[in-house]
Amino acid sequence: GDPKVPVLYEVERTRTGKSFSVRSVKAIQHGKPIFTCQASFQLSQWSPVQHQFTMPAVPPPEELLTQEELIQKFLQNPNLAERYRKHLNKIQAEDVPIDIKPVNPPDVFCSGPQEPKQLFWVRARGYIGETDMKVHCCVAAYISDYAFLGTALLPHRQYRIKFMVSLDHSMWFHAPFRADHWMLYECESPWAGGCRGLVQGRLWRRDGVLAVTCAQEGVIRVAQTPNQSKL
């Protein structure tokens, strides 16, 4: 989309029921759709059928370094390769409105394959407060997209990325939460192939309640490494 051009939103009342309703939204610029969304809404209902996964056991955010602190630590190393230095400086220059504390930050000095899993403590910067829950859901949608698809690249760090973009992004909201409070973001990629990657994520509240589940598929194109002669 073009941030300088107004967006026209077309909303279709796909279904309106007693407990569940569905709305389809199309965002249009220059006469063409740039975004489509299908949102489902449910009245709050109690059920005895309840279960969830167990939140991973990780150090609390107070014991971990922020992403900015980790980057500064890496940049102070005189042995850091120039390409990594440029990449880290680029990340540092981004104005990201999220506080991030990686639980197991990847080793920038190693290009070997890693398990396609990541754990972050995340929260919105600043104070949002006890406002409408829909505001916190919108902020969580922004948070959930950050570094999400990159999880699928961890086993393939020897390749240079040419192009990477999300194809679709789905979210399911399970319990109330505060997007400006620390939440654990658990990301994993069960599959990649055919220039696509699939990632799944779970946002946990600090008290162990599963608040949000996410899934995303994206395009991943890498530079092909030329075959070297063995002669």
Catalytic residues: 145, 166, 216
Report CA-CA distances (Å) from 39 to 14, 43, 96: 10, 14, 26
Are the beta carbons of 113 and 155 closer than 8 angstroms? yes
Distance CA 213, CA 221 (A): 26
Count of Cβ atoms closer than 10 Å to residue 58 Cβ: 16
Give the DSSP letter of residue 228.
Answer: P
φ/ψ (deg, to 5) at 156: -130, 40
Which residues lie closer than 8 Å to 124 by C-beta, 6 or more apart? 97, 98, 99, 139, 143, 179, 180
Are the beta carbons of 184 and 55 closer than 8 angstroms? yes
Count of Cβ atoms closer than 10 Å to residue 40 Cβ: 12
